[in-house]
């Protein structure tokens, strides 16, 4: 029981910290999808403390045009 309360308190502190800061943390990275023009994109879902946001990035393994993976943290 005490460990469950400790975990809930830690999660609440994390959510409060993200709420007052302008940061978001990655919670889900979606699969690659191909657009109508042939570009490959993927969606990243982030938790901000106030809600959930989704960003779509163009996939580029070289890193010149788009991204290869979702950033773990996002500055809003």
* Residue 65 in tokens: 């045009």
What mean pLDDT value characterizes the chain? 86
Q: Average of pLDDT values for 27-53?
A: 90
49 band by pLDDT with thresholds 50, 70 and 90: confident
46 burial (CB, 10 Å; 0-12 / 13-18 / 19+) is buried
Residues sharing a CB contact under 8 Å with residue 28, sequence separation 6 or more, in sequence order: 44, 45
**pLDDT score, position 4:** 85
Q: What is the pLDDT of residue 43?
A: 94
């Amino acid at each position: 029981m005490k460990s469950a309360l400790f975990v809930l308190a830690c999660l609440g502190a994390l959510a409060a910290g993200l709420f007052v800061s302008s940061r978001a943390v990655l919670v889900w990275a979606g699969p690659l999808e191909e657009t109508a023009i042939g570009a490959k994109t993927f969606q990243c879902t982030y938790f901000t403390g106030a809600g959930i946001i989704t960003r779509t990035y163009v996939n580029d393994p070289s890193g010149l045009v788009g991204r290869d993976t979702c950033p773990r943290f996002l500055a809003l």
